[in-house]
Each structure stands twice: as C-alpha cells, then as structure tokens.
Amino acid sequence: MTTADATVARPATTALPRKKIRVGEQLVHGVLFIAAAISVLTTVGIVLSLVLPALDFFREVSPWEFFTGTTWAPLFLDAHFGVVPLVVGTLTISFWSSLVAFPLGLGVAIYLSEYAAPRATAFLKPILEILAAIPTVVLGYFALTFVTPFLRDIGLEVEIFNALSASLVLGVMLIPTVATLSEDAMAAVPRDLRDGGYALGADKLQVSTKIVVPAAISGIIAAFVLAFSRAVGETMIVLIAAGQLAQITFDPRETIATITAFIGATGNGDVPTGSIEYKTIFAVGLTLFVMTLIMNLISIRLVRKYREVYE
Amino acid sequence: MTSLASTAPSIAADKPRRLWRNRIFMWAMLFCMFVAFGTLVVLLVDTFITGWPAVTKQLLTGLPSTVPAEAGARPAILATLYLGALVLLFSVPIGVLTAIYLEEYANHERWWNRLIEVNIQNLAAVPAIVYGILGLAFIVRGIGVGRVVLAGGLILTLVVLPTVVVSSREAIRAVPDTIRQGAFALGATKWQVVWRQVLPASIPGIATGSILALSRAVGETAPLIMVGAITYVAFNPTLLGPYTALPVQIYNWTRQPSADFQVLAAAGAIVLLVIVLSMNAVAIFLRNRYRRQW
Amino acid sequence: MVSEDMTQMESPRIDSGKIAEVSHGLERSVVERRDKVFSVSDLRVAYGGNIALQDVNLDVHKNTVTAFIGPSGCGKSTFIRCFNRMNDLIPGAKVSGTVLYHGEDLYGRDVDEVEIRRRIGMVFQKPNPFPKSIYDNIAFGPRVLGMDGSMDERVEGSLRQAALWEEVKDRLKDGALGLSGGQQQRLCIARALAVEPEVILMDEPASALDPISTTRIEDLMHELKRNYTIIIVTHNMQQAARVADMTAFFSVLVDEDGAGRRGILVEYDSTTKIFTTPSDKRTEDYVTGRFG
C-alpha cells in the first residue's frame, strides 16, 4: 500500500445527496436582480420626468404651435413656443460637426486598421482616448477663446457666438467615437477577404476602400449614427460657443441656439417652478430624448447586423 | 508561337499611377490623424499657456471672489473630489452586480432580461443633460434631497452607470468558460464560482472601466447645472449642503466678459485636465499591465 | 455478420493480435462481479430539440476504467457529461431516460446536483487550471465545500496521487499557469482528487498533450483505478486499448432525410473483445481504421 492510498478517504455513504436549500444562493440572485432593475427604474424615471410635465405643457401650448412654430421666445411677455429654431440649431451643429467627424474619423480608422504598424497603433489609440476624455466644458472654452478668434483671423466673419466654431470643435471631439467603432467593424472583417483581394492583384488602397470598408459598412454607419446622436445631445460646447439666440439660419457664422443650450441655460437660471417657462424645459427635453432614442435604436440594430455577419 | 509576354501589357505599366493614388490616399489619412492630434495638442498648449500664470496656491486653496486676482476654487475642487468619490461608491457596486447578473445569472430567453439589456444600451446613449432633467424633476419636486452634493453624486452615478455595466460585462465575459466549468465540476455553487473565480479574474478589466467612467463623471457639467450646482459658493462643501463643482466653476468663469476671468477659466481647466487625464493614465496603465493572455 | 477467424482478415492499420498483448484490461466476468456504480438505461440527450444521443444502455462497475470511443460527433462527450450532470449547465439541454448511481436516480427531483459533482469529478480535454497558485488550485474545492482537516496534507496527498508532488513541492505558491501542459493536466487531476470523489470522468484528458505526458497520464490511470472508478472519452483507439477494461463504441446515425445526426451506442464489451473480435461490423470497421 502506498502513501497515496493511505490518504484517500472513502465516502461514508453511497446514498445520493438530497437537495440542499441554499438560501445564500437565492439571496444572491435576488440582490443581483435588484441591481439590474435599477437601470430599468432609471429609464422609468427619465420617461416620467419628461412625459408628465410635458403633457402639462401641452395643455397650455398646442402641440401644433410647438412643433411647427418658427419663433422661440418662451421667456418674453409675448411668448412664442415654436421649437423649430431650436431643432434647426441642433441639426445645424450636428450637420457641420458630422462633416468633420465622419471623413476624418473614417480616415483615422482605416489608417489604424489597415495601415499602421502594431507599435504605432499601440501609441496612437491611447492618444485618441485622451482626445475623447477632454471634458466638454474645456472644449467649449477652447472653441470660444481660440477657434472663434482664429476663424476671424483667417478672414471668416464669424460672430462671437457662432455655430461654426462649436461645430468644428465638436466634430474633432467625435473623431475618436467614429474611429473606434469603425475600426472595430473593420477588424471584424475576416482576413480571408483581404487576402482574396490581394491575390487578385489589388493594391492596399483598393483592398481597404473597395473590400474592407464595404464589408464593414453597417458597423461604420452605426458609428456615424452614434456620433450624430452624440452631437445632437451635446450641451456644453454649444452652450459656451454657439450662443443662445434661437433663430433659423443656415449660415454657420451666425449665432444660434440648440435644444441642449436652451435647456442648460434655462435650467440653470431662476425660472420659477411650475411656470410655463419651467415646463418648456421638459417639452423640449422630451423632443431631444425621442430624437436620440430613435437614432440610438438604429445604431444598435446596425451594430447587431455587422456582428451577426462575422461572429 | 509568340510568347504571351510580348502581347500582354507589362505588369509594371500601371505602376506610376498606382503609386500616386496610394501616396495621395496615405497623405489623406495622415491629414486626418494630424487634425485630430493637432487639435488636441493646440488645445492643451493654448490652455496651458493662457492659464498657467493663474494656477496659484490661491486658486487651489482659496475661496472664490468677485475679484479675479483673489479668486480661488477650493470649494469647487473639493466638491468635484467628493462627487467623484460618491460616483465610485455607488456606480461600481451597482454596475458590477448588474454585470454579474446579466452575464452569469440571467436567462436570456426571458423577456425581462432582454429588456434590461436593451435598456442599458439605450441609457448609455442618452444625453447627459437629460439625466440633469431627471434630477431637476425629482429634486425640485417629489422626493428630492435638494440642491446638494449627494444629489449631484447620485445623478452623475446614473450617467456613468451604463458605462460601468458595459465594461464590467466585457471583463467578465473575457474570463474563459473552462475556468467556470472546472470550478462547477468540483462541486462549487454558482455564487462560489462567480465570487471566487470569475470576479477575481476580471478585476483588472473592471477597475479600468470604472476609472474611465469616473474620469467622465468628474468632467460632466450639464447635469450638475440642472441639479443646482450654484454659482457662488464660498465655503467648503458638505454632503448635504450647497456646492459648486470645478467644471461648473469653469463654465461660470467663461461666461464673464472680463479677460481676467477667461484666464481663470483656463487655469481651472488646467486643474480639471490634470485630474481627468491622470485618471485616464492610470486606467490605461492598468489595462496594459494586467492584460492577460489566456 | 463477422467471420469466426478474425486473424485471417485484412487489418491495414491495427494489428488486432498485438492489441490483446498490450491491453491490461480485465476480463468481462471479473468486471461484472464488481459493484455497479452507474446503470444507464434508454438515455437520450437533446439540445434545444435536436437529439444528440439516444438509446444508450450500459453499466459501469467499481474500480474499473471504462472508455468511450467513436468518431467525432457521436455524442461521447455529451454522454460523459451526463454522469456529473454538467449538461444541466447548458441551457436547452434535456436528458431523458435513467441514470442510476448506486441504484438511485441521479436525475431525481430532489437530488443535489452541486454535491454530486464532488463525488463524481471531472478532468477536461484542455487543462484548465485556475489563474491562481498551485496550492490554491488544489485547495479551492475543499475550501468551497467546507472540508476540514489539514489543507497542507490534503494538497500534498492529492499531488502525490497525481504523480506531481515531486515536481512542484518547492513551488506550491507559484502560479499554476506557469506549468507545462502535461503538468497542468496532472494538476487538474490532483484538483479533482482533492475533494475525495468516488468517480473520475476524463473527457479526452491527453488529446492536448505531447506523447510523453500522455504516457504519464495513462500510467496514472492504472494507478488510480485501484481506488477510483474511471470513465474516459478518447478518440485515440490505442489509448483505449492500453488503459480500459471495458470499451463502449459510439457511432453516428444519420436521419432518413439526411438532415439530423444523432449518436448511438453500437457495442459495449471488454476492451479485448472490442479490439479483436467485435460483434458489430461497424465496430470492426472503426477499430480497423476503415473509417472514422
């Protein structure tokens, strides 16, 4: 008999163990579910905090006037509640910043995904992260105190508060968003596809732009949609640099007001609770929420599509 | 028989044009990189040059004042640190527990679990200011606690909670299933497997994600504006007292027309950037150091 | 039917005569005199409606080594996981039929499947040590199960049984992931032994290892079967011939419409018989290398 045998103990009985009621396990499951439910409660809270006061608002102001009116002057004696200028302001900012973020972000993504050496990537990606980490208040300050004077210096007659400065800075801020998501999508494209292209005699440019990008297109579009949605929801940059003048204009050199700027400016001030001005915050906020929600759902659907294809 | 080589176009014929196309494309991409990183550099340099003279002991330790030369940001800095601590305290446990639930316990066939998942994805994309509205509604009315530090901390927690959940889920998912199988096969219960094997193995990833979320929370301004981080606070903040935070302070200084306040704003921005970027650096360091090769 | 005189048959890859020499397997009569540990009847396993394995009937006896062999997709891994109810962890998996463990229904309604896994241990195909120290790997099981007694002694005893003690005794606090593949697998065996099981299930334990490590694991099985009952899945026929007392051959049954594939038990007998004079032609085709 070896030492090995000596330390082996035989089970006392061969009868099957009866099921233990493991209270601890059930408790844990319960606690975990509660934690997860907090997120649901948050959404419920958001919806309630928007919808209820908004309904209140729409009792006093007709939805028709709200959604189609072109004058926004809720704080004046002769008040107007047409939200169109705010929406136009928001979309203007989003449009111009997308014009910056989409191509530049995609270019960065293609470079990182297809061209850059691993060592370069390891160095560049953290820098992108840092760009993404700059607080928006600092970006807003930069837009106001550097970009606006700079634009004037090069001859563009921009007003002190203008859409262009804010859009440019916001666009650059969104480059990492577009780049990271697009790069993920491109990395998911299998190597075989690229090899097939090279084997046919295509060069790197053709493989990258005609094979990889189309193959990753749903992920790339998801990136665009997400970036656009972020631009729509951005507050501080536009609040500081784009102004609070709700007017409909398509000239980015002029002052505008976005939905978020209005909410930020009004919520901060001494607007009496329960007044009609107070309620505008919620009606406008609800509009914003619905806009970003729709865009976000589209983006999620697109991401799922590209994940499905390759994973 | 004539050789094919003499009738077929030379394979080098297209080369110059091809080279040019590729070269131009490369320049285009490098331009994109240049814009992104160049802007970052310009921003950091400009902020630094403008603000550095005003980063004085007075700024860091003094109380605010209407006189720019004497203005300090101590209450704001302290409040920002408190808010950060609150966010860490609330978002990490709730976020990690939610992630554990979704990854290890939830049966994804059930509709309520899918609802929770979709819900978190949506919350991650809700603009921060909407969380501010949520805070406004429940603070000014309803069961609110008032315009106090605690409220600000709670709202910021909600803002970053989805991010913490997503990154924790990824860290948990990265733990290979064979580890779980091995532990189950020894007779461990589900919680024992999670608590003793899965969680310890995913701590680096969770820590990285949490610190990144924290750095974002600390830089958020819009929600705090909405829940009443007021303009002028000339005393040290307490948990249930009025406050202002550093980003809000910067915003307020930016709004002042006087150039001196612009300089102050830049100085405040430097302090904020130092806080935020050092958190990011720690997170990146953690991620690289503990990158595990399964 | 198979002809009487097997030695006349052409066996291109396996010299059936030699197999009988190599195998140290027990005779069937000896095996069947030992206590039945498991008794499987009419077992069927389905994943989400697709039948993976069906109509399995066999008995496993105490202190023997039983091998499951067969081509890939025949359900042998699915089958072995029925013995410690690891299939319960797969959502959508359904096990029907009967598995008796010492005469009692393993899948009974009030049976604690967590405790079962202590008694019926498992070693996996790819070594899966925990990302902890060697000591903590072995100690994990006893700790979570609340076993008392000296942990140091338990760790040493398990490592000795797994023939790993001499190699690691001076570095118990080192990380387990730093061990070689063969050492990691022996660590996993020691880990399973530490909780004092009765049965050890091994799902292709050596398929990820080099030949020398494989031999050591096989030697280990000979040692361990004195005190434990061992069931092993292997795709390596020679291995089955070397270590097993009883061998079960599984194969794949393709549906009439060609769409579904399900595993079935073709033949179960002493190893010697399976490899020299199998009763079923499919078994013969497989062991002589004509397919699979």
Name the token pair of B40: 């970052």
Edge-to-edge strands, sheet with C65-69? C104-105, C93-101, C36-47, C50-61, C261-270, C246-254, C65-69, C229-233, C199-203, C120-123
Of residues B283 and A4, more confidence is placed in: B283
Whether B35 sits inside 8 A of A50 (CB atoms) is: no
DSSP helix/strand/coil, C265: strand
How would residue B10 be classed by pLDDT, with cut points 50, 70 and 90? Answer: low
Torsion sign across C-alpha atoms B76, B216, B287, B35: negative
List the single best residue of A1, A2, A5, A8 to mutate versus C (max C Cβ within 10 A).
A8
Tokens 């013995």 belong to which residue?
Answer: C83
Could you report the per-residue pLDDT of C81-137, keeping only the tens digit for each?
999 999 888 888 999 999 999 999 999 888 888 888 999 999 999 999 999 999 999
DSSP assignment, residue C203?
A: E
Could you report the per-residue pLDDT of C147-194, keeping only the tens digit for each?
988 999 999 999 999 999 999 999 999 999 999 999 999 999 999 999
Q: What is the DSSP string of C35-83?
A: PEEEEEEEEEEEETTEEEEEEEEEEEETT-EEEEE-STTSSHHHHHTTT
Please check whether residue A4 touches C, CB under 8 A: yes
How would residue A2 be classed by pLDDT, with cut points 50, 70 and 90? Answer: very low
Q: Please report, rounded to a whole number, the percentage of residues in chain B having pLDDT higher than 90.
A: 60
Whether A14 sits inside 8 A of C223 (CB atoms) is: no
C residues 5-64 lying closer than 8 A (beta carbon) to A: none
Phi, psi of C48 (to 5 degrees): 55, 40
Residues of chain A in contact with residue B189, where contact means CB-CB under 8 angstroms, are 22, 24-25
Average pLDDT rounded to a whole number, residues C55-71: 94
Of residues B12 and B171, more confidence is placed in: B171
Taking the C-alpha atoms of residue A237 and residue B213, their distance in angstroms, rounded to an integer, is: 20
Tokens 């389905």 belong to which residue?
Answer: C46
Taking the C-alpha atoms of residue A7 and residue C156, their distance in angstroms, rounded to an integer, is: 9
- Count of CB atoms situated within 10 Å of the CB of C75: 26
Residue A34 near residue C127, CB atoms below 8 Å = no
Cα–chain center distance at C143: 26
Check whether A219 has a pLDDT greater than 80: yes
- Neighbouring chains of B at 3+ CB pairs under 8 Å are A, C
Could you report the per-residue pLDDT of A144-189, keeping only the tens digit for each?
999 999 999 998 888 999 999 999 999 999 999 999 999 999 998 8
What's residue B33's pLDDT? 94
List the single best residue of B113, B186, B198, B202 to mutate versus C (max C Cβ within 10 A).
B186
pTM, full prediction: 0.85
What's residue C224's pLDDT? 93
Residue C130 near residue C176, CB atoms below 8 Å = yes
What's residue C22's pLDDT? 55
Give the one of C153, C196, C223 whose C-beta lies nearest to A11's C-beta: C196
- Neighbouring chains of A at 3+ CB pairs under 8 Å are B, C
Taking the C-alpha atoms of residue C228 and residue C245, their distance in angstroms, rounded to an integer, is: 13
Closest listed residue to residue B113, CA positions, set C18, A40, C182:
A40
- Count of CB atoms situated within 10 Å of the CB of A149: 12
Check whether C19 has a pLDDT greater than 50: yes
Closest listed residue to residue A267, CA positions, set B239, B84, B145, B128:
B128
Closest listed residue to residue A72, CA positions, set A274, A270, A258:
A258
What's residue A13's pLDDT? 56
Whether B107 sits inside 8 A of C118 (CB atoms) is: no
Taking the C-alpha atoms of residue C291 and residue C13, their distance in angstroms, rounded to an integer, is: 11
Q: How many CB pairs under 8 A join B and C?
A: 65
- Count of CB atoms situated within 10 Å of the CB of B142: 10
Whether A16 sits inside 8 A of C196 (CB atoms) is: no
ipTM of the complex: 0.89
- Range among A90-99, A264-273, A298-307, C249-258 rated most confident: A90-99
Torsion sign across C-alpha atoms A160, A162, A168, A174: positive
Residues of chain C in contact with residue B188, where contact means CB-CB under 8 angstroms, are 114, 140-141, 144-145
Residues of chain B in contact with residue A39, where contact means CB-CB under 8 angstroms, are 98, 116, 119-120, 123, 161-162, 165
Whether B186 sits inside 8 A of C126 (CB atoms) is: no
Check whether A16 has a pLDDT greater than 80: no
A residues 12-41 lying closer than 8 A (beta carbon) to C: 14-20, 22
Residue B178 near residue B267, CB atoms below 8 Å = no
What's residue B140's pLDDT? 64
Burial of residue C80 (CB within 10 Å: 0-12, 13-18, 19+) is buried
Residues whose CB falls within 8 Å of the CB of residue A84, separated by 6 or more in sequence, listed in order:
A67, A68, A69, A70, A72, A248
Whether A137 sits inside 8 A of B33 (CB atoms) is: no
Check whether B39 has a pLDDT greater than 90: yes
